[in-house]
Amino acid sequence: MTQEIKKEGQGVSTPASSIPVNLPLELVPLYDWWKAQGSRFVITAIVVGVIAGSGLGARFYWKNLNVNANKDFMQAQNAEDFELLIRKYSLTPVAKAARLRLAKTYFDTAKYEDALTAYDTVLSKGAPKGFEEIAYLGRAYTLEALNRTEEAMKAYTDFIAKYSDHFLAPQAKIGVARVLALQGKKDDAKKALENLKAEKTGDTAWEMTIAQVESLVSRYQPRATRSLFDLATDAKSPLSSTAVTTPTNPASTK
């Protein structure tokens, strides 16, 4: 008959033949637990270790990725560089900064349609923290460069309403004056600049900037437009061949 040892305080018996010969009686409960739960405990510990190791590995990966992204960003110089950054590091914060720099690069190289698309992407995907205002103003500048004056005016006035206390708000007000001049409303443009000058009285840098814009507005001549009736009249004159082929007076400053 198999001898059984009853564990103290419990009704469960452990066959004596299954207990190591030299095992002290006080370790019998621990031995029973190990036999019943030990393998499960080991598996759980292994799983937890794997998960923890994966977490550490992921943190190391993202840290290394961000380090490389920042390094490449500092070395980027042209549109192609920034486009590559966006593709390569699309999930990192650097991608947001690269999108903004790409938009500005397009603007600086007179690729205004591309710049507008890039600014729209910056605003839809999220600008870098603290740079949203720059993206909004850059978009307004781009609309102005495209001569989309109504949209540019709305972009500038919306900026002024939303960011009235921002340090770039005066730039937006100058933008309003420029657009008014483009629309042929030179008196309104001068009035807008006079209002800004009153706000910046005593600020030498701003006074000089405003004076320069006032000079440009005063000298600006809107592009001349000619109707078909004008062209038909010119065609009947002895100078018709010259008149018809002479280009219209371009927008210029004298």
The pLDDT tens digits for 164-221 are: 999 999 999 999 999 999 999 999 999 999 999 999 999 999 999 999 999 989 888 8
In the chain, the percentage of residues whose pLDDT exceeds 70 is 61
Which token pair is 97? 């900064």
Beta-carbon contacts of 193 under 8 Å, excluding residues fewer than 6 positions away, are 174, 177, 210, 213, 214, 217
Which domains does the chain show, CATH number per domain? 39-140 (1.25.40), 147-221 (no CATH)
Report pLDDT for 253: 40
Asked if 99 contacts 86 with a C-beta cutoff of 8 angstroms, the reply is: yes
The pLDDT tens digits for 78-103 are: 999 989 888 888 778 888 888 999 99
- What angle (nearest 5°) sits at the alpha carbon of residue 63, between those of residues 57 and 64? 90
pTM of the predicted model as reported, rounded to 2 decimal places: 0.63
Report phi then psi at 209, rounded to 5.
Answer: -60, -45
